[in-house]
Amino acid sequence: MGNKFVMVGGGSTQSPGILEVLRQRAGELALTELVLYDIDEERVSLLGQYTEMYYRESGSNVTVSYTTNIDKALIGADFLFMQIRPGLNKQRAIDEKICLSHGVVGQETCGLGGFSFALRVIPAVVEIMTKVKELCPDAWILNYTNPEAILSEAIYHVFPEAKCLCICDMPISIEGAIAKYFNKDLRQLIFKYFGLNHFGWWTAIIDEKGQDLLPLLREDVLSGEIDTLLMSNEDTKEDQYWIDTYKQMIKLFKRFPAFFPNCYLQ
């Protein structure tokens, strides 16, 4: 028996990269069926047809389909990857620009921008989770939908028994950059973090000997020895946007050196 994997929000522009990882690791994941589900028929149809063709031509044995029928998508699912955006980027722009016009943080997961987003996302996710409880209650859900922390609380409040992991790739990327700075393997370090969604800070970086490396990082930043961290992701280390982002993160740490900031705070 193999696993059925459903992408909820399968028409997303983020989907192709995830679909490629699934194709490459299908054997390891015992993946036999992949379903792209979305309420946008045009988007899911385009990406669904592409995925079907790509998997077939690359020799994959995974059965690929796409649908706008959530019941059809979820029946028998073993894993769900949830990435939805009610209102699309058009509404995101409104959320952020209203905040910016009043001189406050407009980022879509922090502050009022994130709160506005949450008011649209929570009802949509609760509706999806209700269907999950009915059609595939034992499925694992990997939620990539923002705002992560608020949504995590909402899911746990309404569906405390759900097998749901809410994830974000930004903290692990920053932690990888910190590990690289100290010439450590990421697995040698324990990071302590607090905050709401992306609005957060690291309070300690404990190495394999029990030493906290955060004071050493703080000293190097305040002395001017470093003005950025080396990114651990090969795809972004030459990207000017990410170079500027990591430099901005160091500038923010210099101004508020008690804890190390998540780069979303730029």
Q: In the prediction, which pLDDT does 132 show?
A: 97
Q: In the prediction, which pLDDT does 264 show?
A: 80
Same fold, 3-88+116-166 and 170-265: no
Catalytic positions, written as ranges: 169, 264
Q: In the prediction, which pLDDT does 198 show?
A: 79
Cβ neighbours for 36, distance < 8 A, ≥ 6 positions apart: 6, 7, 10, 11, 15, 44, 47, 48, 51, 64, 65, 66, 67
- The structural architecture, per CATH, of the domain 3-88+116-166 is 3-Layer(aba) Sandwich (3.40)
Helix residue spans in 59-110 (DSSP H): 70-74, 88-101
Which phi and psi angles does 15 have, rounded to 5°?
A: -65, -40
Q: Domain 170-265 adopts which CATH fold?
A: L-2-Hydroxyisocaproate Dehydrogenase; Chain A, domain 2 (3.90.110)
Q: In the prediction, which pLDDT does 234 show?
A: 67
Domain chopping of the chain, boundaries: 3-88+116-166, 170-265
The pLDDT profile of the chain, 266 residues, written as one tens digit per residue, is: 799 999 999 999 889 999 999 999 999 999 999 999 999 999 999 999 999 999 999 999 999 999 999 999 999 999 999 999 999 999 999 999 999 999 988 888 888 888 899 999 999 999 999 999 999 999 999 999 998 888 999 999 999 999 999 888 888 889 999 999 999 999 999 999 998 777 889 999 999 999 999 999 999 999 999 988 887 666 666 788 888 988 999 999 999 999 999 988 66
Tokens of 224: 């001017």
Q: In the prediction, which pLDDT does 196 show?
A: 73
Model pTM? 0.84
Cβ neighbours for 265, distance < 8 A, ≥ 6 positions apart: 110, 198, 199, 249, 252
Are residues 67 and 126 in contact, defined by beta-carbon separation less than 8 angstroms? no
